[in-house]
Amino acid sequence: MTVAADTATTPSTEEVAALVQRWLAESETHPVEPAAQRLSEVLKDPNGLAFTVGFVDGVMRPEDLGVAGRKLAELSDITPTLLPGYLRAAIKAGGFFAPKLPGVVVPISRRVLRAMVGHLVLDATPSKLGPAIAKLRKTGNRLNLNLLGEAVLGEREAGRRLQGTYDFLARKDVDYVSIKVSSVVSQLSMWSFDEAVADVVEKLTPLYRLAAKAEAQGKAKFINLDMEEYRDLDLTIAAFTSILDQPGLEDLEAGIVLQAYLPDALAAMQRLQEWAAARRAKGGAPIKVRVVKGANLAMEEVDSKIHDWPLATYGTKQDSDTNYKRVLDWAMTPERLDAVRIGVAGHNLFDIAYTWLLAKSRGVTDAVEYEMLLGMATGQAEAVRKDVGRLLLYTPVVNPAEFDVAIAYLVRRLEENASPENFMSAVFELASNPQLLTRERERFERSLAALVADPSVPSPNRVQNRAAEERTDAGTTGFHNQADTDPAIAANRAWGREILQRSVASPLGLDAIAAARVDAEAQLDGVFATVQSAAAEWAARPASERAEILHRAGDELSARRAQLIEIMAHEAGKTIAEADPEVSEAIDFAHYYAERALDLENITGAEFVPSKITVVTPPWNFPVAIPAGGVLAGLASGSGVIIKPARLTQRCGAVMVEALWAAGVPRELLALVDLANRDLGTQLVASPAVDRVILTGAYETAQLFRSFRSDLPLLAETSGKNAIIVTPSADLDLAAADVARSAFGHAGQKCSAASLAILVGSVADSARFERQLVDAVTSMRVGLPEDPATQMGPIIEPANGKLLTALTALDKGERWLVEPKQLDAEGRQWTPGVKIGVAPGSTTHMTEFFGPVLGIMRAKDLDEAIRLQNAVDYGLTAGIHSLDSDEVATWIDRVEAGNLYVNRGITGAIVQRQPFGGWKRSAVGAGAKAGGPNYLFGLGDWAPAELPAAATGAATTPVVESVLSAAAADLDAVEIEWLHRAAASDEHAWTSEFGVTSDKSGLGVERNVFRYRPVEVDVRIAEGATLADGIRVIAAALRSGSPFTVSAAALPSRVEKALRAAGVTVSSDKDAAWVKRYAKAAAKAEHSWRRVRLVGGDTAALFEALGGTPDVAVWSHAVTGAGRVEMLPFLHEQAVSITNHRFGNPTTLSEGVL
């Protein structure tokens, strides 16, 4: 469809430029407000934007005056030179005294800043609001009041915002208000679009009826329905039209906003025009559309990058400017303006002049209103007003006691004033700087030329349609994270609703599970034999062939996304919002491990030997992604796989396996089993035919498995008792939202869930944090997964044991901040619960409940908070909310967990982006992080391979050289040469992998750093092991920089001396004595998780002496020359995810931290 511009009525660029020149000349005759002039000059300084935004966010926002004082001291070092001398001196002095006297200095500093930006917002104090409104209206302008408030995390704040707007509209001196749908209904989910529309309509109707009543009394009052996020576009239009379609509101004129930086804007305008025209034809009132360019670009970019969705907006400022004119050109005709009046919102004088001249030429000036922002370019606004008549001023209103809630609005305004791409950056100099004027004129001309050149109606950028996706025959290669389903798109919402309807009585997986039944030991032995036979042929295939099939598996999982969501909703109680990303994770595992399979063939100095049979025993809480990850990793490594899905979610696993079979994975190679009894379960794990078991489940399950077979090669991701620390420097609204989401996503049944929040210092007494957390938690909609409005589904089975106790009882000193309630007779549906007063060492502190219960602890400072966080036996995920770089650096350096999260939630790890796996009792065995570069390394054995001579000569560290030199007299020439090559391989591995941090995703708005941390290891060189092998492992240990001990039957004295000089503890024991001593020491250790690198010797004897404890991980493969293999036991993997923006704008928070 095309919408060619009416060139006959289009004003020439010369006419537009002449009018702009006249307005600029006129604006010079109006005095500039001192605050506006001062702010403009500050923003010209190279440090101006950083200083001002830092002041707003770092000094105005914190509740804790000490935090604000420290930030003021920091900012005083970059005080803009363009500030008046007295202000610079005052800021410097304030910065010096603020850390010492924050209670005195910070309030004064805040008043100074409020004065600098106070012209941009109105004071909501009743005694001040009335006079301020009267003063502004004396100019003849109208005011569009928008009440700012705390982040809407729950229904309490939503209700408060709505009531405040209602009270504004009820005032005699207020006739125009704006409100967003996202500010009156909390926790909106686009999956429940219809329910959300109904909710918004119910909440907003009284406000519109108030306006209609005033209209009937001849006192017109206007409501403008605002919007900010792209996802709200359809919702806002649907709510707006539904409200005005109600009986009694036919004669009410009301307005809505469209954002022209969205390609969707013109089509949305046409939808509104069609609806409004029908309304007019029935005798109803017209509507008004306020056309803005859009002010949420930075956060739309964040949304796009995090979800890997196309950017919803145009990618360039020119394209946005062009579309702004396109929408207005189409709308501003006499016929269309009868039903839809237009508000031209913006400060770009060229755009205003263009639309004003266009309106005059088309004779529609009475139906077009011009709108500007309060306090912005007031001289130019006055000049424009004299031509167009009164203006409508968008007027934010904020209570001075809550001034920090204006931060997001103010940051956008400051960015607009500072960014050269924005017209506002030149606003004070256009009249006196010809170059700037020419720059803006040329931008205008280019956008106008583009309008004429392309008359088509733009298509949306976001067009994903799951129902219409076609399977690709070409097959996928390489790796790129799979995008989740985008619920902002109507077609996807309809697709999702159909899935949920089918889920109620889904038959998926029934036949596959029935066919997988194993009733006898002999039958299971037959499965072992079949898989083992198929595995030999599979392992012999080149990795490229295995990778091709795994890529096809990823494509097949993608094609069956709807089925996988359906069965997860039916069997596991997962909401679609939880199930859809899980399918994406399963797909990612397929493609990622396909690529990592190729790596196994490219390890210089070592040869990977696949396991014959890998058994996968997954959990019920992630019934598709985790089973898929284990199976696909086993297949990628060259192993045959037997999977026994969790009892409660067998069919989910079956549907996943069916997808893999359909993709070409041989059925003989991948066996699905449903075991009839516990004895068969024991046989599955304990059989000597099984080479590896991949477990995800409770630590106690790992203990049970090892009780069946003490030397079982077990790779397990086990329990977690995860906490989020919140410090006084945190954004408390963001922290409360992330704590609530992390604690209660999937009803708290994620191994990564936050079951503790540790509040530091003043946060523990913060009424705001408590209020926001309670609001967020109590507003969560609990229900069944087939209801799209459900935000928290049921727990997997009726609460019992420690979870039931946690939901119904309190420890000493605890009290309920939010008491959970059982909603059904069965005991599966519970509202979330929050306990405060949790004591160190208590059951709530130390025990994983795996359900919807959050405990809150207090700590006097960050040091104590870290101690509390580290005090548990587990180390899976950990989080902190802090906007202080020093605090973040301290925490990252000291916290004991495998996955760290800064200023974001602690759940939802994504393959490659945040490889997943823990420390301490959260990980069992000689394995690595799932979805990370080393996971496949632990799924087989390693054998030595030739090291090329090209590796010789690479530099290594002096301490490694000293040990190699000390050992040389007891080695032959071949061994010495091999050791030097191996040391060179270590050096290469260190400089390319282990000694560097990496961020493979490169999102920018979020840093996802993968790194290696030191970990203590005990090296045992057994009787019969060669000295060369022992020295080779010691060299890898030394290069890693980790602490380690060495025990050997015998070492040359020169080697012992060199090791002791390097700070290494060396002991001498025979094998039997060492095993006995080590087992005794491990049993006595307060924290018994340990690592052993065994060179030679009897692994089974060691595990038997240890009683099969999962706390000791043993690497016992043959010694190789490959640094990429040999250094792994000496390093802990860690993934650190840091939100790297504030309101979408880049932040320096993590610079120097990692």
User: Is 1151 noted as a catalytic residue in this protein?
Assistant: no
Neighbour-count burial for 485-513, b at 16+ CB within 10 Å, e otherwise: bbbbbeebbebbbebbebbeebebbeebb
| CA dist., res. 355 & res. 343, Å (int) | 11
Q: What residues form DSSP beta bridges with 288?
A: 255, 341
**Residue 924: in which H helix or E strand, if any?**
strand 923-924
3-class DSSP state of 597: helix
| CA dist., res. 656 & res. 624, Å (int) | 6
CA angle 279, 283, 284 (to 5 degrees): 50
Angle between the 625-636 and 650-662 helix axes, to the nearest 10 degrees?
Answer: 40
Residue listed under structure tokens 């104090």: 125
Contact present, 372 and 143 (Cβ < 8 Å): no
How far is CA 650 from its chain centroid?
Answer: 30
| CA dist., res. 623 & res. 746, Å (int) | 12
Contact present, 1128 and 993 (Cβ < 8 Å): no
| CA dist., res. 313 & res. 322, Å (int) | 13
Residue in 548, 751, 814, 1056 annotated catalytic: 751
| CA dist., res. 75 & res. 66, Å (int) | 14
Residue listed under structure tokens 């702004």: 324
Contact present, 223 and 169 (Cβ < 8 Å): yes
| CA dist., res. 1116 & res. 577, Å (int) | 43
| CA dist., res. 1062 & res. 1065, Å (int) | 9
Pairing of strands 222-226, 940-944: unpaired
Structure tokens at 274: 């069609």
| CA dist., res. 424 & res. 430, Å (int) | 10
Pairing of strands 714-717, 923-924: antiparallel
**Residue 394: in which H helix or E strand, if any?**
strand 392-398
Strands, sheet with 613-617, edge to edge from the N-terminal-most edge strand: 670-672, 640-643, 613-617, 692-696, 714-717, 923-924
Selection from 11, 106, 94 nearest residue 61 by Cα: 106
Structure tokens at 44: 């010209």
| CA dist., res. 515 & res. 529, Å (int) | 18
Structure tokens at 925: 């065995």
Residue in 150, 301, 578, 717 annotated catalytic: 717
Structure tokens at 383: 């000049």
Alpha helices per DSSP H over 919-1070: 958-967, 973-989, 1027-1040, 1053-1061
CA angle 1119, 1124, 1130 (to 5 degrees): 75
| DSSP 8-state secondary structure symbol assigned to residue 358 | H
3-class DSSP state of 1130: helix
Is 1101 buried (19+), middle (13-18) or exposed (0-12) by CB count in 10 A? Answer: middle
| CA dist., res. 748 & res. 703, Å (int) | 24
Contact present, 528 and 613 (Cβ < 8 Å): yes
Contact present, 1142 and 411 (Cβ < 8 Å): yes
User: Is 797 noted as a catalytic residue in this protein?
Assistant: no
Residue listed under structure tokens 């990496």: 998
Looking at this protein, which amino acid is placed at residue 1036?
A
| DSSP 8-state secondary structure symbol assigned to residue 823 | -
C-alpha Rg value of the chain to the nearest Å:
33
Q: Which residues form the catalytic set?
A: 717, 751
